[in-house]
Amino acid sequence: MSLPENSIYFVESVINESRQLIDRGVWDIRMARFDSWIKQFCGPEEEYFCACLLDQLTFRTTQQFEASLRSLFRSNLNGKIFTEFSDLELLGKLEERKDQRLRVVPVICESDPPTKSGPLVLRRLQRILQIRQKWMCWPWQAAEMIHKNEVDIIIFVDDFLGSGVQFERFFKQWKFHETSEEVSYFYAPVVAHQQGIKHISTKLPFVRVTSAETLNVSHGFFDDAVWNQLGQGCVSANDAKIWYGTFTEHHGIRPRDMELGVGDLALTFGFSHSTPNNSLPILWYENEQTGWQPILER
């Protein structure tokens, strides 16, 4: 792969800037973890590719995540549910003692680990917005309440909507699709990709999706526009994708043959608490056999 003329300066500049972001707490990443990750890239080509990944990394801190969550419930989601009321209508109902026939539910399947992000979002909501715990429930409890005609509105919360396939599986696992005419469903991921929004609008048209931040194909690491900037006429998006495929195969960075992440979204996006599996596995996957160490927490 032919590198741009200023690739050495680019690598040094990006690495130094990344260290500064970690030092200032903008990136909640341990420096030792950062050093271990970049040391796995050897030689000009690998170091250049490492720098390109860091240059495109979007990392949301705890403070940024909570600010987005607050904005989502005070504005975007409120406007979807209560179109004719103030921005605080939804929060007001969730703070009341009287049952407003509204429940907030985490996106979690039976097979998901306790560390799944849905429950984490619920805990953050309760802490920063003072929502009553009484109006939060598990998916199986929500399904039971629907059958008993005890609820009118269900809000599903999550940190990230990627391809939409996982949410569809969750929704159908708890048989919510069988009660689509009995209750209003809202899905509120903090960040949503347009591919996932489109998938849900097609497969579950009765679910209304709203988020604080929306991503699209231009956020994919191998988008042509990204490499027009990074490659400077020397490295195309296709060149980079082929190089990446060879590198990840050599280092065993292909969980379940998922080279580009779930849905092939090829994102470089992470939160301080977790990384969506729609992001490139080179950022979050650990392979004990080859010794590959990730830079972000999954």
Convert the pLDDT of each residue in 124-150 to its tens digit.
888 888 888 899 999 999 999 999 999
pLDDT confidence band for 115 (50 / 70 / 90): low
What proportion of the chain, given as a percentage, has pLDDT over 70?
96
From the list 168, 86, 91, the residue with the least C-alpha distance to 126 is 91
pLDDT at 22: 94
Q: What is the pLDDT of residue 114?
A: 55
For the chain, the DSSP string reads -PPPTTHHHHHHHHHHHHHHHHHTTSS---HHHHHHHHTT--HHHHHHHHHHHHHH-EEE-HHHHHHHHHHIIIIIHHHHH-TTS-TTHHHHHHH-SS--SEEEEE---TTS-TT-HHHHHHHHHHHHH---GGGB--HHHHHHHHHTT--SEEEEEEEEESSSHHHHHHHHHTTGGGGTTTSEEEEEEEEEEHHHHHHHHHH-TTEEE--SEEE-GGGSTT-HHHHHHHSTTTS-HHHHHHHHHHHHHHHT--GGG-TT-GGG--B-EEESS---TTB-HHHH--BTTTTB--SS--
Best CATH choice for the domain 62-215 from the list 3.30.450, 3.40.50, 3.30.390, 1.10.8: 3.40.50
Q: What is the average pLDDT across 274-285?
A: 94
pLDDT digits 0-9 by tens, 8-60: 999 999 999 999 999 998 898 999 999 999 999 999 999 999 999 999 999 99
Supply the pLDDT for residue 255.
Answer: 84
Q: How many residues does the chain have?
A: 298
pLDDT (0 to 100) of residue 154: 96
Distance separating alpha carbons of residues 122 and 34, to the nearest angstrom = 30
Q: What is the pLDDT of residue 268?
A: 97
The answer to whether residues 119 and 133 touch, using CB atoms and an 8 Å cutoff, is no
- The reported pLDDT for the residue numbered 117 is 65
Residue boundaries of the structural domains of the chain: 7-56+217-284, 62-215
Q: Residue 110: its pLDDT value, please?
A: 54
Best CA proximity match to 184, nearest among 194, 173, 174, 176? 176
> What average pLDDT score do residues 240-255 get?
92
pTM, rounded to two decimals: 0.91
Mean pLDDT of 52-79: 91
Tokens 């399904």 correspond to what residue?
143
Question: Residues 6 or more apart from 263 whose CB is under 8 A from it?
Answer: 162, 163, 164, 165, 193, 195, 196, 278
Residue 10 · residue 45 · CB < 8 Å: no
- The answer to whether the beta carbons of residues 164 and 195 sit under 8 Å apart is yes
Q: Which two tokens stand for residue 65?
A: 């995540």
Indicate the range of 22-36, 107-121, 132-146, 229-243 predicted with least confidence. 107-121
